[in-house]
């Protein structure tokens, strides 16, 4: 059977192409998924453009997210016709990924769609929403409560950021959304932010400890922003470190940790253990589900528009979630 896929032909910049493939060209696995929707995450943008070393072999299909129905399976837990999703686990990194009409994966990666989530809903969350779910799980486990003070969300207009604003606000946290895009202020307030600031308006100071202003944070950008926020976090507050949009390095003193009991929580969605993965997807489809999912969709595109959108994402021109319609 012939199908369409975005394929990165070899290592290097701009090596992705829309191709026709045969099923037997896909990497092996126990479950074949007829894919309906995928999405574009920051990591996908790096893989598609070749600006980050995400794919481990070539040629390969990028795409760390996919949702659709099982087409063929040798595992009775995932029979043909079952609606399923896969995020992370190596999809679009060391296994042909979700930006294709068919996707073959090991059974252990497959999550039956929880609750009444449709494949499209599942991709509105995608890795971005699942990552926010891990943040909430770890923050709550480590006693983050609204009375510790507002939660800062950096890179707030992006996929992870916009979902984080809405979901933290739904759980009763006051949210300070930090975005470099002034035009996104109204949208972020509508998602539940109490305040929207530009990065330079945060005035993070330079002393090892500054006045307490925040209960904690979900940080998508890393670098000096992460360093600065840590100086302002309240006693026993937590900062979930998610991303590196502005840089992967940061420097810090131990003062917030040893004098205020502040914690940095590492968030790694790709290799999240299976039992926690299932628990988080249940919560995303239930208690943590934002009122509307459609408000997070910036664009719905076809496979032929993915390359251009990936470039836009890396130059900070996208907002929210970009869905890829595969049929
Ligand atoms: N740890 C994990 O498991 C995990 C999972 C998913 C994503 N991530 C990471 O989390 C980050 C967000 O991912 P995403 O898919 O939500 O991407 P995204 O939609 O592109 O969002 C990133 C946001 O960061 C801000 N940003 C971009 N470039 C920046 C720069 N040079 N300096 C400061 N801010 C910048 C922008 O927000 P504003 O314009 O509003 O400021 C942008 O919308 C990425 O770094 C990604 O690699 C990590």
Is it true that the peptide bond before 201 is cis, omega within 30 degrees of 0? no
Structure tokens given for 212: 């307490």
Name which of 159, 125, 123 is nearest 318 in CA terms: 159
Whether the CB of 127 sits within 6 Å of ligand 1: yes
- The predicted pLDDT at position 75 comes to 97
The helix or strand, by DSSP H or E, that contains position 226, with its residue range, turns out to be: helix 223-230
Region 175-184: mean pLDDT is: 98
Name which of 294, 303, 319 is nearest 62 in CA terms: 303
**Closest Cα to atom 37 of ligand 1:** 155
Whether the CB of 135 sits within 6 Å of ligand 1: no
Tell me how far apart the alpha carbons of residues 205 and 166 are, in angstroms, rounded to a whole number. 28
Region 185-193: mean pLDDT is: 98
Structure tokens given for 51: 């600006």
Select from 38, 40, 42 the residue to mutate for testing ligand 1; criterion: most ligand atoms less than 8 Å from CB. 42
**Radius of gyration over every alpha carbon of the chain, rounded to an integer in angstroms:** 20
Residues of the chain with pLDDT > 70: what percent? 100
Sequence-ordered strand ranges (E) for the chain: 2-8, 16-22, 31-40, 65-73, 83-87, 102-105, 111-112, 151-154, 175-178, 195-197, 214-219, 233-241, 263-266, 297-301, 321-325
Atom of ligand 1 nearest to the CA of 225: 33
Whether the CB of 161 sits within 6 Å of ligand 1: yes
Per-residue pLDDT tens digits for 222-277? 999 999 999 999 999 999 999 999 999 999 999 999 999 999 999 999 999 999 99
Select from 123, 164, 183, 220 the residue to mutate for testing ligand 1; criterion: most ligand atoms less than 8 Å from CB. 220
Per-residue pLDDT tens digits for 159-174? 999 999 999 999 999 9
The rounded mean pLDDT for the chain is: 97
Q: How confident is the model at residue 88 (pLDDT cuts 50, 70, 90)?
A: very high
Q: What is the pTM of this model?
A: 0.98
- The predicted pLDDT at position 183 comes to 98
Residues of the chain with pLDDT > 90: what percent? 99
Region 60-66: mean pLDDT is: 98
- The predicted pLDDT at position 7 comes to 98
> What distance in angstroms lies between residue 151's CA and the mean position of ligand 1's atoms?
17
Atom of ligand 1 nearest to the CA of 184: 40
Region 33-38: mean pLDDT is: 98
Q: How confident is the model at residue 143 (pLDDT cuts 50, 70, 90)?
A: very high
- The predicted pLDDT at position 258 comes to 98
Domains of the chain: 2-113+292-325 (3.90.180.10), 127-266 (3.40.50.720)
Per-residue pLDDT tens digits for 293-318? 999 999 999 999 999 999 999 999 99
Tell me how far apart the alpha carbons of residues 269 and 227 are, in angstroms, rounded to a whole number. 22
Task: Identify whether the C-beta of residue 243 lies closer than 8 Å to the C-beta of residue 155.
Answer: yes
Region 9-26: mean pLDDT is: 96
Tell me how far apart the alpha carbons of residues 38 and 94 are, in angstroms, rounded to a whole number. 17
């Amino acid at each position: 059977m012939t199908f369409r896929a975005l394929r990165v032909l070899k290592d290097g910049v701009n090596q992705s192409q829309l191709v026709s493939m045969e099923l037997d060209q896909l990497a092996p696995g126990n479950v074949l998924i007829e894919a309906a929707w995928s999405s574009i995450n920051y990591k996908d943008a790096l893989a598609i453009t070749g600006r980050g070393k995400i794919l481990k072999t070539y040629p390969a299909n990028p795409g760390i997210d996919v949702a659709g129905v099982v087409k063929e399976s040798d595992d009775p837990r995932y029979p043909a016709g079952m609606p399923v999703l896969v995020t992370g686990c190596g999809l679009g990194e060391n296994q042909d990924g979700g930006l294709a009409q068919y996707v073959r994966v090991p059974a252990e990666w497959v999550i039956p769609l929880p609750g009444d989530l449709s494949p499209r809903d599942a991709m509105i969350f995608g890795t971005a929403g699942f990552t926010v779910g891990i943040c909430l799980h770890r923050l709550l486990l480590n006693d983050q409560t609204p009375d510790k003070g507002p939660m800062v969300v950096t890179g707030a207009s992006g996929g992870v950021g916009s979902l984080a604003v809405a979901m933290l606000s739904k759980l009763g946290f006051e949210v300070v959304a930090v975005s470099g895009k002034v035009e996104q202020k109204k949208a972020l307030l509508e998602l539940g932010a109490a305040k929207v600031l530009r990065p330079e308006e945060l005035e993070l100071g330079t002393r090892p400890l500054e006045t307490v202003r925040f209960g904690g944070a979900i940080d998508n950008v890393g670098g000096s922003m992460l360093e600065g926020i840590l100086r302002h976090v309240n006693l026993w507050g937590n900062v979930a470190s998610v991303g590196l949009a502005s840089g992967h390095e940061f420097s810090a003193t131990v003062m917030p940790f040893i004098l205020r009991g502040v914690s940095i929580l590492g968030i790694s969605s790709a290799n999240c253990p299976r039992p926690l993965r299932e628990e988080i997807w249940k919560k995303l489809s239930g208690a943590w589900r934002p009122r509307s999912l459609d408000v997070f969709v910036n664009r719905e595109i076809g496979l032929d528009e993915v390359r251009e959108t990936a470039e836009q994402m890396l130059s900070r021109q996208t907002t929210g979630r970009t869905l890829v319609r595969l049929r």
